[in-house]
Amino acid sequence: AINNPGYPTGSSSGVPSTDDLRMGIRDPLGRRRWLRVFGAPRLDAMKALVQSARLIPRRYSHRMNHASRSLLATLLALWLPGCVNPPAASSTNAASAVWSRFRGPNGTGLARGDYPAQIGPDANVLWAREFPPGHSSPVLSEQCVFLTGVEEERLFTYALDRDTGATSWRREAPRPRRTKLHPKNHAAAASAAVDGDSVVVFFDEYGLLAYDHDGQERWRLPLGPFDNVYGMAASPIIVGNVVVLPCDQSTDSYVLGVSKQSGEVLWRVGRPQAVSGHCTPVVHYTPEGRAQVILPGSYVLDAYDAQTGERVWWVRGLPGEMKSVPVLLGETLWTHGFASPLNNLGNQIEYPPFAEALDSMDADKSGTISAPEIEEKRVRQLFVFFDLDGDETLDEVEWEGTRASLASVNSAMAISVGGRGDRTAEAVQWSYHRSIPQLPSPLVYKGVYYLLADQGGLLTALAAESGEPLDKSRLEDAVDAYYAAPVAGGGHVYLLSESGILSVLPAGGSLDPIHTVEFGEPCYATPALEDGCIWLRSAGHLYCFGNL
């Protein structure tokens, strides 16, 4: 393929001239190799590319067919004028980048290939640049890194050349309102979703927008305003030709299915039990090939048909707040959630049903329950989370929600996916209830389930299959808060703290870091790993690392 590398080409159309070509091939190991040719006519470019191909070691000869096809396609692209700008890939194009949504392949945080352990501001840096603030995580296409951010109180979507960091395009989104966000949230929190021809972004203060890979807007869909006590933070995903967006909030929660091509709302399904949280869903394919969107929420994990929005099956027993991305590997899904210390196993508080509670607690005979009428101080401190409409009293619906919340248990769970209807009794393989994270998502890598606590750098390793504890320890030199999700690749586990401390662990369950480095500024975004490179966003910079 020949692509515009983001450098001036002397063409107002943006189409690269024959004097400025960027050629991409795959080597026999499947790794991308870019050959830049400047000031060379097409014939000389072909000669340079052929000479590059001759460098392939003979010991990879058994994989030459793949490289030969890539080389032939590149040579044809050089000679055929209509191939200078390649056609947009389909949404099922196998050549599309796999880190194409928040937390990479289906939200697992796992990457194939080799990745350096020794990275930092001065180690294995391929490029680095200053970048506007935002909490969205890097998402990749074959050519670009996509992010959102805020500049001078304006919302933007960015496409950067993934090999150089140069800005390919920047598009502003409307900002018709200002949301009161939790101090650790951000107006640019949700990460983009990308496939072979589309880029979809979501902003709490506007809604959904879609672009093609050249930055041309396809559609926009205003949504909200929302009433999530933290502000919205779930990211959209693309499932075939449907964009799926969870909108869990204090009242009127729902999940939305939107046409990827037009922005038309295809379906909207209410989630009445969901009253807080911001999970990004994952996708499960049934034996019949139907895509199901699996979305944890308050008390219940639901699976929806991606095309129709039908609620197909569900599992009860989750905590009242769910914020992390579940991990689906094969037919098993791992998920965890933490609501409050009152939801730790053994701390549950029981209250009577609403009518009985009014008799014993409604001192002012208002027909509702206010915070001063609740004797338990720990419950009063959480009143704002139970008062869904913000009127400083609890009606029957809110009271029963309070009872359910206080009865729930913080837990990590392994769940067998699939089936129909309520699958709670059959699907839950095991559960674990100690040191459960609230925000950092599960990481399941090489048989180990890693649980990274939000505070104090506490890391727990469980056997993924059984839930049996393997080890627990505070990260050496990284006792800090954590918001970014853990990721893994190349036999390494990467953990990035709020203050910018990166710890790298060996795979296999050891909790002793083999590398620790400080970036010197806050980090909330989850790193992206692909093709041997690591993209890491801090409060003011974007880095690309790789083995040098």
500 dihedral zone (left: phi>0; alpha: psi -120 to 50; beta): left
Residues 433, 328: contact at Cβ < 8 Å?
Answer: no
CA distance 97 to 15: 22
Q: Which residues contact 93 (CB under 8 A, 6 or more apart)?
A: 195, 196
Whether 174 shows a pLDDT value over 50: the answer reads: yes
What domains can be seen in the chain, in order of their start residue?
A: 20-83 (no CATH), 105-342+408-546 (2.130.10.10), 349-407 (1.10.238.10)
CA distance 454 to 323: 12
Whether 65 shows a pLDDT value over 80: the answer reads: no
Cα torsion angle, 381, 382, 386, 390, sign: positive
**For the whole model, what pTM was predicted?**
0.82
Tell me the backbone φ, ψ of residue 287, rounded to 5 degrees: -55, -25
Tell me the backbone φ, ψ of residue 51, rounded to 5 degrees: -60, -40
Beta bridge partners of 421: 313
Tell me the backbone φ, ψ of residue 317, rounded to 5 degrees: 105, 10
What Cα–Cα distance (Å) separates residue 507 from each residue in 155, 334, 490, 516? 38, 18, 9, 15
Of the candidates 271, 329, 275, the residue with the CA atom closest to the CA atom of residue 303: 271
CA distance 473 to 457: 8
CA distance 160 to 197: 16
Cβ-count burial 219-228 (b if 16+ within 10 Å, e if not):
bebebbebbb
Which stretch of DSSP H or E encloses residue 111?
A: strand 110-111
Residue in this structure with the two tokens 């650790």, named with its chain if needed: 184
Whether 24 shows a pLDDT value over 50: the answer reads: no
Enumerate long-range contacts of 382-387, CB under 8 Å, 24 or more apart.
Answer: 382/340, 382/342, 384/229, 385/229, 385/276
Whether 402 shows a pLDDT value over 80: the answer reads: yes
CA distance 103 to 137: 8
- In eight-state DSSP terms, residue 232 is -
Residue 296: other Cβ atoms inside 10 A: 31
CA distance 42 to 35: 13
Whether 48 shows a pLDDT value over 70: the answer reads: no
Say what the pLDDT of residue 495 is: 98
Of the candidates 184, 144, 180, 176, the residue with the CA atom closest to the CA atom of residue 162: 144
Residue type, 190: A
Reported confidence tier of residue 49, pLDDT bands at 50, 70, 90: very low
Say what the pLDDT of residue 276 is: 84
Rg (CA), the chain: 25
Query: Hey, what are 188's tokens?
Result: 């640019």
Per residue in 126-154, pLDDT (tens digit) is 999 999 999 999 999 999 999 999 999 99
Say what the pLDDT of residue 309 is: 98
Whether 44 shows a pLDDT value over 90: the answer reads: no
